Each structure stands twice: as C-alpha cells, then as structure tokens.
A and B are shown apart, each in its own frame.
Chain A
C-alpha cells in the first residue's frame, strides 16, 4: 500500500459548524514595530574538498552570500525561493545551528554570529525553530511529555515537579489533548506531530521562531489548521516569525513582508503589496506566474507563464555579476559584469536588478549605472563616481528612488 494509514479523529467529537471554525485572514503589517532581530550581510559558506591523495579545499558552496533584513517584533518575514536558494541555511544560521562565515545577527544587544558558547545557550531559549518534517524531527522513543518538557529541563526554567503541568498547558495551547502527554509520536498524525513540534518551540516563551517549511509536509486540510494555529500564537504571545517556505500563497497569507531569495542572495524584498502586486524583479515575476491557480478553472485552460530556461546554477561556482542572469529573460551585457545592488524603490520595497520594472515595463537602459559608476555596457564610466555604500543595509531608508516619477521619493 503506497499511502500511509490515516489516524482517526481522537475522541471522534462533533465537528464545529463552518462559522465556528476560526480561520484567520492574512496577517497585517505593523510598520511601527521595533526590530527584534537584525541580520546584516550574513554569509554562510561550506567548504568543498577535493577527493585526491591530499584532502585540500577547492572552493566553497556559497549557500548564503550577503543577506540583510530586519525582523520586527511580533511580525513575520517570509523567506521564499526555490530549493538551493539558501533560505533554510539562513534560518539555521540565525538559530546558530550553523556558525555564520561572516556578517552579524543582532538580537537583544548581542551579535549572535560571534556570541560565546555560554551566552548562546541563554539566547537559544529565545529563538526557537520549527522543522519541516514532523516525522523525523521528533524522537520516536520519547513520549510527547519528554519532548515538550526537554527544553524546560535543559534551561531549568520551571521546577521539576511543575514540568508536567507546564507541558500540559503547552499541549492545550497548541490544540492537543493534555492527557496525551505520555503517548509516543507514532500515535499521532502528521498535523498533530507538527503541533507537538510547535509546543516544544513554545516551551521557553521564545521571542523569535524560525519556521522552516512548517506546513509543506502536511495534507492540504491540515496545513490550514497549522497556519491558523501559528497566527493565533503569534498574536497571543507576540512572537516574531521568520517563515521559510516555498509555497508563495501560504507565505502571502502569513507574512506581511517577504524576501525572495535566489542562489544565496535576496533579489527582492518588500511588503506584501510590493512583492505580490508590484514585483519588479524578473525572478519574482516568474515565480509568481508559475504558481497554478484554482481560479483559472473558471476561465479554463492555462495562463501565459514566464518560462525560465534551464536549472539553477551551482552555488559552488555562481554566475558572475547578477546570479539570475543565466535564466533571466531580460538580461543584458551589464548583468554579467556587475552584481546589481539591492536598490530601494519604494517605502518598503527593495529590488536587486539592473532593469527593475513591472512585468513588460522593464527599462531598456540599466538604472544602476549611477550607483556603480559604469556606463550602459557595464564598463567603467570616468564621468560618474560609484557610490561607496553598495553593501545592503537591513531595513528601509526614508528616501528611495521612485521609478515611476524618476525622482527621489520620501517617507
């Protein structure tokens, strides 16, 4: 039998009526929220060794290469992109499952990238992670109580005799029966296991949760349950989420701000309307156009899509200049010579492209020549001095380059 044995509804209780099922609408942005986590120019390289007589380093997998963003308190930032774009690595570097190659991660007045081992432990209680696979991320030989209670005991936050009480509270919070604390993970369905993982992450009252594809392994109907649960928890406990996913629709629902990654870099970052309604990067546009949509059934047939040619290049030897240029429908000569800087083009909208524009309205001439100090072909232009400040800063500036008005916009 190719399909897993489903699990019965525990208790088999009455289903609530449609109106009673609390579904949430899309999360809203609070532009005034102070940052809780600021990531600046984060790099994560993994060395590659030759398999010869001598094991020598021959290069790096540049999994994450200079990523900056701000995560607001109690808000959520979505990190989207295709496999191999570095979104999961970014999450793991922030939770310090990896030690970043360079860059900084500011949290609570400390730099997590260089923090000492002792301080790291204290910090770990405040930044938690939820994993994709609810089957392999829970130890099958531990009871649910032991799994959820482990962080409490490791960090010694509640007296031993109160651990169980707290575990039961947590199980209740995530919508599981508190009496089931002595059961084992295999007695739960996929969605319930993901709830266990969420309870474990909540145990230490974290301020930040990195959710790495938290729903993609779940059945469609269960995905919505978990997304709603995460939204409720976010509101109740004011938790900031770094929400890593490849499902653009779920990210749109959960995150008021989104960063699109390609081959280790952020190519476009902005609020929901900027990304989903006003994307200026050809990759974001291609990504959005590729998502199949239920509503086209009404009109019948397939929509026009931007077809990307070929595959994502290897992160060991990424293309020169703009990393997307090998698959980009609008690439020109300058793209192979210079890496486009992440330019702010709206109040909360940045894009890294030499030819940023709405679909079908990309400019003919590169807009980045002034910043880079080069001419239209990417050759040095003696008349223009390059801007010194090309490294991307996290967050948004108060002024930006307004593409429509061809002028400087102000907040």
Chain B
C-alpha cells in the first residue's frame, strides 16, 4: 500500500506508516501484536486509533517512537517521517528524533513521571537533551511551557513533585513535556482515560488548541469513540493487530461498514439516546494474537456471518479495501454493509436515528 491512502484531503502527509509489523517471539510462538498496519498523517491533523486492549494500538505507537529497540520485538515495514524511514535509522539517530520530532503523552501521568524528581526538572531534562542550553534557560523555557498548558503559578510549581499535582495538572505537565521541543508528531496514548470527565474535557480542549497553535500532527489512541469523534480528523479502527476500518472520522462514525465498529458503537450507551435503545454487546472475548482465528480475525464474534456466502469469513482474510464512499476503507466480506447497518443495527442501538434515515 502506498501514500495514496491519504484520506483527509489536501495537506501532504508527513508521516507515512506502511505495512508495519511488530512481532514478539515467545516460547509459545510468535505474538503478532501488529500485523501489517498502514496509515498516513498530515501536519496539524489528528488520527484517532481505536481498539480494545490487545488490538495492537499501543504497540504500534511505541514502534513509531522506536521504543521496541533493544527488546526481542521484530519490527518491519516502513515508518517515514518527513521522508526518513525511522526503521532504518541507527539507535543513536532514532534517539535524537525521540522527544524532539516525535513526542508521546501517556495514559497514567502519575506512573509516567519519576516520583523522585520534580516535575520541572523532568520537563527541563526533555528540553536539555535536545537543546544545548544552561539550567537557567531551560528553567525559564519550562516555566513558559507550564504557563502555556494552564498550570497556575508555574514558577513555584516547577519545583513540586508529581505526587503533589492533581491528575489533571499532571497530564497538563505531561503535555508540556511532550510539546517542549515543538515536535511535528505527538502520540497521545489514552491521554484522558485516567481522568475525570470534566478534567478530560479540559485536557482535550488544551490538546486541540495547542495542536492548532503548533500545527502538530497528533495520533490519539483511545478506546473511547466519543473522544475520537471530538478530536480526530481520521479514524482507524484496529482489531487483532490489523486495521479493520479506516477513513475520515465523520464518515466512519456515521456510516460504519464493519461489524466490529458496529459492535463498538452498540456496546456504548449514549447520553442523549432514546431510552429504548439497546446496549448490544459484542459476544466473546478479544482474539489471541498467538493463534489468531483463521480468515477474518473477528469472525468468532461476528453476528453477520450468515450474510456472507460460503465459508469466506472463516477461511479468507478480507483485504482492507475501498468501500463505496470516498476515502473509506474496510476489511470485511459483507457486500452491502450500509443496508445491514441501517436495517438491522441502527434500529436497535439508536431508534431515533433510524427513523430519520
């Protein structure tokens, strides 16, 4: 697959991930955490990667950052950032990219910060490793950054330790740390999962505003479709280490074409939904990455296999191919997903929308 997969329009992609595979050899066999993932991202745009635990979403982002180097993981494919294939770089060259061009925001800011060093010192460290500046200059830069992310009295809070911050403040500090070198790409791995809703709202707003200001490309990894709907331009749904649906956010979330995406939508109740809406779970459990199901990885949990002729679902892995809608890719054998969604799924999970349709 090539760069022609750009889905959200005009700006040229600066990040192109092509056929990324992350395999972990274990004594029981190879765990294929990510198995052939391709996507692109343009500057200033946001890609939401959605999936459950074990879908490979976090592993893939760690691979972009080169965090699997020095472990037993086998990473293959291409990750081109501004034309440079990160996977071909030496460890030292990759290190110079890390934190400078690509930064990461983690899920739990309390455990992601070192408990023994002050918040300011940890951010300053991130700055000084890529910039030859003295302590004083670094400190004033960090204080500016803390102010930018909305931490009150930044000069005083510089010397506070992570445990003295509230959850929201810690995540703001993590954002300051990620943005201090003005990276072109920020990967946010479940940035708000550990936070309360009102704080989540603050953090998402902050992230969106800073992204606009710095024209940063953002990959936001989450299990929450609501967060994706709010933040992302493009969305990529992952299941069992592979992309199963990929396209512009409003397109994929309003006209999903893959039963797993339907399942994700149907298993989350909506705040404004009709109270007659059913909460339909996806039966079973996520697949094993060691012995993935044959054919489509989702087939053991899929409720629409009888719509597909023969044994296609259990024997043939569907390609990630274009659907009828522009820029919308899906990995499913269903021939008429739109119709099934409207007739069978929508009336159950959102009766009020089905009537409109």
- Asked whether any CB of A lies within 8 Å of a CB of B in the complex, the reply is yes
Interface residues of A (CB under 8 A from B): 1-10, 12-21, 23-26, 28, 82-83, 189, 191-192, 219-225, 227-228, 246, 248-250, 252-253, 272, 276, 286-300, 302-303, 305, 307-308, 311-312
Contact B300 A248 (CB under 8 A): no
Contact B302 A219 (CB under 8 A): no
Contact A292 B227 (CB under 8 A): yes
Contact A294 B265 (CB under 8 A): yes
Chain A residues near B337: list those with CB within 8 A: none
Tell me the minimal C-beta distance from B344 to chain A in angstroms. Answer: 6
Query: Within the complex, which residue of B168, B229, B282, B300 is in contact with A297, where a contact is CB–CB below 8 Å?
Result: B229
Is B163 an interface position by the 8 A CB rule? Answer: no
Interface centre among B31, B53, B56, B291 (most CB of A within 10 A): B53
What sequence of 0s and 1s flags, for each residue 296-311 of chain B, a beta carbon within 8 Å of any chain A beta carbon?
Answer: 0001111111100000
Query: Within the complex, which residue of B205, B269, B290, B299 is in contact with A302, where a contact is CB–CB below 8 Å?
Result: B205
Is B315 an interface position by the 8 A CB rule? Answer: no
Contact B279 A23 (CB under 8 A): yes
Chain A residues near B223: list those with CB within 8 A: 219-220
Query: Within the complex, which residue of B205, B230, B284 is in contact with A296, where a contact is CB–CB below 8 Å?
Result: B230
Interface centre among A191, A222, A224, A228 (most CB of B within 10 A): A224
What sequence of 0s and 1s flags, for each residue 230-253 of chain B, a beta carbon within 8 Å of any chain A beta carbon?
Answer: 110000000000000000011001
Is B153 an interface position by the 8 A CB rule? Answer: no
Chain B residue nearest in CB terms to A4: B53
Tell me the minimal C-beta distance from A205 to chain B in angstroms. Answer: 26
Chain B residues near A300: list those with CB within 8 A: 249-250
Chain A residue nearest in CB terms to B287: A6
15 extra interface residue pairs, beta carbon distance < 8 Å, beyond A28-B275, A219-B52: A7-B286, A8-B291, A12-B300, A16-B283, A17-B305, A23-B348, A25-B278, A253-B279, A286-B198, A289-B201, A298-B250, A300-B249, A305-B201, A307-B202, A311-B169
Chain B residues near A23: list those with CB within 8 A: 266, 278-281, 348
Contact B305 A294 (CB under 8 A): no
What sequence of 0s and 1s flags, for each residue 204-245 of chain B, a beta carbon within 8 Å of any chain A beta carbon?
Answer: 110010000000000000011111111100000000000000
Contact A246 B224 (CB under 8 A): no
B:159-173 near A, CB below 8 Å: 166-169
Tell me the minimal C-beta distance from B249 to chain A in angstroms. Answer: 5
Chain B residues near A291: list those with CB within 8 A: 197, 226, 271
Chain A residue nearest in CB terms to B249: A297
Contact B62 A2 (CB under 8 A): yes
Contact B270 A295 (CB under 8 A): yes
Is B111 an interface position by the 8 A CB rule? Answer: no
Query: Within the complex, which residue of A9, A249, A288, A292 is in contact with B285, where a contact is CB–CB below 8 Å?
Result: A9
Contact B196 A18 (CB under 8 A): no
Contact A290 B198 (CB under 8 A): yes
Chain A residues near B306: list those with CB within 8 A: 17
Contact A19 B58 (CB under 8 A): no
Chain B residue nearest in CB terms to A301: B230
Query: Within the complex, which residue of B24, B55, B264, B272 is in contact with A1, where a contact is CB–CB below 8 Å?
Result: B24
Interface centre among B253, B268, B306 (most CB of A within 10 A): B268
Contact A16 B303 (CB under 8 A): yes
Tell me the minimal C-beta distance from B113 to chain A in angstroms. Answer: 17
How long is the Cα–Cα vector from A303 to B268 in the complex, in angstroms? 20
Q: A3-B53, A3-B54 are in contact. Are A221 and B281 (CB under 8 A)?
A: yes
Tell me the minimal C-beta distance from A112 to chain B in angstroms. Answer: 30
Nearest 3 A/B pairs, CB to CB:
A292-B226, A224-B267, A23-B280
Interface residues of B (CB under 8 A from A): 24, 31, 33, 52-56, 58-59, 62, 73, 166-169, 196-202, 204-205, 208, 223-231, 249-250, 253-254, 259, 263-272, 275-291, 299-306, 344-345, 348
Q: In the complex, how many residue pairs between chain A and chain B have their CB atoms under 8 Å apart?
A: 223
Contact A246 B196 (CB under 8 A): yes
Contact B271 A288 (CB under 8 A): yes
Chain A residues near B304: list those with CB within 8 A: 17-18
A-B pairs with beta carbons under 8 Å apart, 25 shown: A2-B59, A5-B31, A5-B289, A7-B286, A8-B285, A15-B299, A16-B283, A17-B303, A23-B280, A25-B276, A26-B276, A26-B277, A223-B281, A225-B281, A249-B268, A252-B271, A286-B198, A287-B198, A291-B197, A292-B230, A294-B228, A297-B254, A300-B249, A307-B202, A307-B205
Query: Within the complex, which residue of B56, B205, B226, B275 is in contact with A305, where a contact is CB–CB below 8 Å?
Result: B205
How long is the Cα–Cα vector from A17 to B262 in the complex, in angstroms? 13
Chain B residues near A308: list those with CB within 8 A: 198, 202
Chain B residue nearest in CB terms to A296: B229
Q: A228-B281, A252-B269, A293-B271 are in contact. Are A307 and B201 (CB under 8 A)?
A: yes
Query: Within the complex, which residue of B204, B249, B280, B289 is in contact with A292, where a contact is CB–CB below 8 Å?
Result: B204
Contact B278 A24 (CB under 8 A): yes
How long is the Cα–Cα vector from A192 to B278 in the complex, in angstroms? 22
Contact A6 B169 (CB under 8 A): no
How long is the Cα–Cα vector from A23 to B303 in the complex, in angstroms? 13
Contact A3 B166 (CB under 8 A): no
Chain B residue nearest in CB terms to A303: B230
Query: Within the complex, which residue of A2, A17, A83, A293 is in contact with B196, where a contact is CB–CB below 8 Å?
Result: A83
How long is the Cα–Cα vector from A20 to B348 in the complex, in angstroms? 12
Tell me the minimal C-beta distance from B330 to chain A in angstroms. Answer: 17
Q: A17-B306, A25-B278, A290-B201 are in contact. Are A6 and B289 (CB under 8 A)?
A: yes
How long is the Cα–Cα vector from A165 to B34 in the complex, in angstroms? 43
Contact B271 A15 (CB under 8 A): no
Chain A residue nearest in CB terms to B278: A23
Tell me the minimal C-beta distance from B53 to chain A in angstroms. Answer: 5
Chain A residues near B269: list those with CB within 8 A: 26, 249-250, 252-253
Tell me the minimal C-beta distance from A105 to chain B in angstroms. Answer: 27
Chain A residues near B199: list those with CB within 8 A: 82, 311
Chain A residue nearest in CB terms to B22: A1
Contact A221 B264 (CB under 8 A): yes
Chain B residue nearest in CB terms to A221: B282
Tell me the minimal C-beta distance from B290 to chain A in angstroms. Answer: 8
Chain A residues near B229: list those with CB within 8 A: 292-297
Contact A8 B270 (CB under 8 A): no
How long is the Cα–Cα vector from A256 to B232 in the complex, in angstroms? 33
Tell me the minimal C-beta distance from B55 to chain A in angstroms. Answer: 8
Q: A228-B279, A295-B229 are in contact. Are A6 and B285 (CB under 8 A)?
A: yes
Interface centre among B169, B224, B230, B265 (most CB of A within 10 A): B230
Q: A4-B53, A15-B305 are in contact. Are A294 and B226 (CB under 8 A)?
A: yes
Chain A residues near B230: list those with CB within 8 A: 292-293, 296, 302-303
Contact B270 A249 (CB under 8 A): yes
Chain A residue nearest in CB terms to B280: A23
Contact A224 B249 (CB under 8 A): no
